[in-house]
């Protein structure tokens, strides 16, 4: 059960980090070789900090998981981050989730349950 809670925490942090990545990019100018792009990085430092913090905490948690659990069991379970990311995108960015995405999410959950149960 402990692995399950750690993996859920990890995958939520990864999903949040990726959502923050999109938010950060939406506040920045388009990439080019001009200084405007690089200045926009400094103007949006708080989004970059939040994104980096989310990924940093996820990395620390992942190191803990790798130390205490089998990689062959833990790594496939990280696919749950796709589902959390999809749900966050629907809530925050009003993205539509198709039936095939829900079916795919169900298959991911089924696979995770099979891996977790053995």
Given a cut of 90, whether residue 53 has pLDDT beyond it is yes
17: its two tokens: 């980090």
pLDDT score of 61 more than 70: yes
Please determine, for residue 32, whether its predicted confidence score (pLDDT) is greater than 70: no
Name the 3-class secondary structure at 28: coil
What dihedral angle (degrees, nearest 10) is formed by the CA atoms of 79, 14, 61, 76? 10
Half-sphere exposure of 16 (CA within 13 A, CB side): 17
pLDDT tens track for 68-86: 999 999 999 999 999 999 9
Identify the residue with better confidence: 32 or 101.
101
């Amino acid at each position: 059960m402990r692995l399950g809670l750690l993996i859920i925490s990890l995958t939520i942090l990864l999903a949040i980090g990726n959502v923050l990545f999109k938010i950060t990019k939406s506040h920045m100018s388009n990439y080019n070789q001009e200084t405007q792009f690089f200045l926009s990085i400094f103007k949006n430092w708080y989004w970059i900090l939040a994104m980096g913090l989310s990924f940093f905490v996820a990395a620390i948690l992942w190191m803990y998981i790798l130390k205490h659990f089998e990689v062959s069991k833990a790594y496939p379970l990280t696919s749950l981050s796709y589902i959390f990311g999809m749900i966050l995108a629907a809530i925050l960015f009003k993205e539509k989730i198709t039936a095939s995405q829900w079916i795919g999410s169900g298959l991911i959950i089924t696979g995770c349950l099979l891996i977790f149960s053995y």
